[in-house]
Amino acid sequence: MKPMFLPEVEANPRPSPVTDLIRIAQSSAAEYPKIWHLFGYRPEATTHLGEFTQAIMRGDCPLSPGIRELIAAFTSHRNDCPF
């Protein structure tokens, strides 16, 4: 796995639920999506990202969650972002 640009983000000193996931993956030398480090680095910001994403992707809407995920995946694919 390649290192992220910012070592401090990757070292992630902040405790959070996602930090536990990272430690488990690291201890078993498994590959894992490094976006988990982004979510653990500034929980006070990423909490709101999570709430927003939950609201738009799972909140009341005539479009089903599956359709909404499709829109998200399509946009990301077109932005050349495989994650």
Partner 1 sequence: MPHIQLAEGLPGIRSLFAFRPETARPLCDLADVLLHAPGTLTTGERELIAMYVSSQNDCHYCQTTHGAIAAHHLGGNDALVQAVKRDFEHAEVSAKLKALLNIASKVQRGGKQVQPEDIERARREGATDREIHDAVLIAAAFCMYNRYVDGLATWAPPEIPGYRERAAHVAEHGYLGIPQTVLAQTGG
Partner 2 sequence: MEHVKQDAETAGVSRKLKALLAIADKVRISGKSVQTEDIERSRREGATDLEIHDTVLIAAAFSMYNRYVDGLATWAPEDPAAYRESGARLAREGYLESD
Both tokens of 45, joined, read 């910001």
**How far separated are the first and last CA of the chain, in Å rounded?**
14
Closest of 38, 37, 60 to residue 49, by C-alpha: 38
- Residues 20-49: x where in contact with partner 1 by CB under 8 A, - otherwise, as a string: ---------------------xx-xx--xx
- Residues 3-22: x where in contact with partner 2 by CB under 8 A, - otherwise, as a string: xxxx--x------xxx----
Both tokens of 6, joined, read 């910012």
Picked from partner 2, partner 1, none, the partner binding residue 71 (CB below 5 to 8 A depending on kind) is partner 2
Per CB under 8 A, the list member of 35, 52, 65, 77 interacting with partner 1 is 52
